[in-house]
Amino acid sequence: MRAFELKAHGFEGLQQVELERPKPGPGEILIRLLAASINYRDLAVITGRHRGKLPVIPLSDGVGEIIEVAGDVKAFKPGQRVCPVFAPGWASGRPVETSMSRSLGGDTDGTLREFMTLKAEDAVAVPEHLTNVEAACLPCAGVTAWSALVEFGRVKPGDVVLIEGTGGVALFALQLAKAAGARIALVSSSDEKLERVKALGADLLLNYKSEPEWGAAIRKATGKGVDLVIEVGGAATLPQALAALKFGGRVASIGLLTGLAAQLPLQHFVPKAAAMQGILVGSTATFQAMARAVAQHTIRPVIASTSSFAEAPKAIGSMAKAEHFGKITIDFTK
């Protein structure tokens, strides 16, 4: 089977190889992968900012058709489409220290290959209305957005959710929050992208380059501030995110795009009785809940681009430009 293997950090270490097709063992299923999607973490794995095992097959997200099931597997049957979960073995509940120890594409082999086996309990059925490339976007971006909005943020109708940027998690959060009845404030550095999120239902838009103190501006525009911030920027954006909060507001800390060493402005944190939590994707049960919501509301992930399997390294590299709107995907059938 075709696969890409990262043998050394850097794109020169990412090589297409031929590997033996795996066989399912007890409790496992064999899937033929149809599509994959790319996250910022995948770029970090290849460049060495995120260090796991080497060699490794990259990418955490994908969708496949079940080709074979072991005799003792009852939950699935051949022909079904499923997604592997981001963190195999994390069935439900809060994360523990070992929850991410087998995460795909970093610590264990991922989805950039034609066939893979996985335990049946580490697979989630795909909502039928989704295309293959759309379904491939669910495991990381969709689950992360759901964990932030529902499990931590407890978003309800009428809440105001502030979202940073227009990447995969951001746009998933927009769609899921709108489905929950929330109002959306969104900041971006691109007026063009702001126009596009307006079409997706964003209510309050702000270009953070033209308004550096965007936290205070969002708080003023919303009256009392926002209930929840989907914080993907990291060190440079956290102070503004906290400034935008209402009393009792929450910050779901997801991304580290602008650095790791953030100053915490306590005047926007302690007096507001604010809460902040790091979001680590989510469990299989979280994935299943998110998938039900996606099916119920016929949500379709926003696709920025789709490349062929052979073009995978170039597609992953395009993540570094930060110009995409939505998810960068790979169609294995192209």
| 8 A C-beta contact, residue 170 and residue 230 | yes
Q: Which CATH class is domain 142-278?
A: alpha beta
> 66-118: per-residue pLDDT in tens?
999 998 899 999 999 999 999 999 999 998 888 888 999 998 999 999 999 99
| pLDDT for 139 | 97
Alpha-carbon distance of 201 to 178, in angstroms, equals: 7
| 8 A C-beta contact, residue 32 and residue 62 | no
> 211-244: per-residue pLDDT in tens?
999 999 999 999 999 999 999 987 788 999 999 9
Q: Which residue type does 4 have? A: F
Average pLDDT, the chain: 94
| pLDDT for 233 | 80
| 8 A C-beta contact, residue 80 and residue 66 | yes
Residue closest to 178 by CA, chosen among 274, 271, 302? 302
| 8 A C-beta contact, residue 19 and residue 114 | no
CA distances from 20 to 13, 23, 124, 169 (A): 20, 9, 25, 34
Answer yes or no: is pLDDT of 18 > 70. Answer: yes
Which part of the chain is CATH 3.40.50.720?
142-278
Q: Which residues of 42-78 are buried (b: 16+ CB within 10 A; e: fewer)?
A: bbebbeeebeeeeebbbbbbbbbbbeebbeebeeeee
Homologous superfamily, domain 2-137+301-331: Medium-chain alcohol dehydrogenases, catalytic domain (3.90.180.10)
| 8 A C-beta contact, residue 253 and residue 278 | yes
> 275-327: per-residue pLDDT in tens?
999 999 999 999 999 999 999 999 999 999 999 999 999 999 999 887 889 99
What is the pTM for the complete model shown?
Answer: 0.94
Which part of the chain is CATH 3.90.180.10?
2-137+301-331
